[in-house]
Amino acid sequence: MVVFNNKNYRDYMKKICRICNVILDSSNYIIVKKKYVRSICRKCKSRMAVENARKLGSLRRKYANEYARRVGRVREYPCEQCGKLCYKKCSKAFCSDQCRFLSYVNVADSCWIWTGGINRRGYGKFSLFPIKSISAHRASYILFNGEIPEGKCVCHQCDNPRCVKPAHLWIGTTQENTQDMINKGRSLHGENHLKAKITKEDVLKIRELGSKGMAQWKIGEMFNLTAGHVNNIIKKRAWQHV
């Protein structure tokens, strides 16, 4: 800072900002207490203030929360599910992720029905740290049974997409899950428990006709399928296990 007066005003305004090297003029200089002029422009000053607040804000909040809990100045609330005293981490008090998960579950003797949000396929959705959002049945397996091996699927024994009962879940590959759906007479999309329109023999026949150069729309008329479905079968995007 330098003293701001009429004598050195013009000479000082020829100087540049010490951070961004912008020439200081009447549009970007900062006057302090009508006596001093800062050697940085307004943009650099505001940028420095934001960065300092961002660095110190999280540390201050963390220290304040730890200190308040250590001296007992934070109120503990009973868990909404089990009644155990805990600190609030959201609008409701839950002592663990398991209790927060069970608050969205209708526990019964047969299946545990998920009452929270669901996706378009009918499976529940649940937020689990550090994952933002995963399927509810996968979250149930992680919370009650353990970690899921990489590349594996969590399958249902009861064929109920909304069921999250840990005893009804098992680990398998994509091929095992698909084969399980076929053995139980369900469609490949798992909707409405419909039976597949074609069999393995039909799939092999479709691929044989496609390799011979037959038009896909003609093959679709023979098996009552669309040309797109026939194309997926030939390219092995559908019925990959055959």
The CATH number for 157's domain is: 3.90.75.20
- List the chain residues with pLDDT less than 50: 1-2, 4, 8, 10-11, 188-195
Do 31 and 113 have their domain in common?
Answer: no
CA 150/CA 158 separation, integer angstroms: 23
Do 91 and 179 have their domain in common?
Answer: yes
Asked if residue 188 belongs to a domain, the reply is no
Do 172 and 219 have their domain in common?
Answer: no
Do 98 and 175 have their domain in common?
Answer: yes
- Write out the DSSP string of 44-85: HHHHHHHHHHHHHHHHHHHHHHHHHHHHT-S--EE-TTT--E
Asked if residue 49 belongs to a domain, the reply is no
Do 89 and 169 have their domain in common?
Answer: yes
Do 176 and 230 have their domain in common?
Answer: no
Asked if residue 107 belongs to a domain, the reply is yes
- For 150-180, the pLDDT digits (tens) are 888 999 888 888 999 999 999 998 888 888 8
Which residue segment(s) compose the domain that 31 sits in?
1-44
Give pLDDT, residue 189: 46
Asked if residue 62 belongs to a domain, the reply is no
Token pair in block for residue 39 = 């050697």
Asked if residue 195 belongs to a domain, the reply is no
Instruction: Look at the chain and report how many structural domains it folds into.
Output: 3
Do 96 and 171 have their domain in common?
Answer: yes
Give pLDDT, residue 35: 62
Do 149 and 210 have their domain in common?
Answer: no
Do 101 and 172 have their domain in common?
Answer: yes
CA 89/CA 150 separation, integer angstroms: 30
Give pLDDT, residue 191: 41
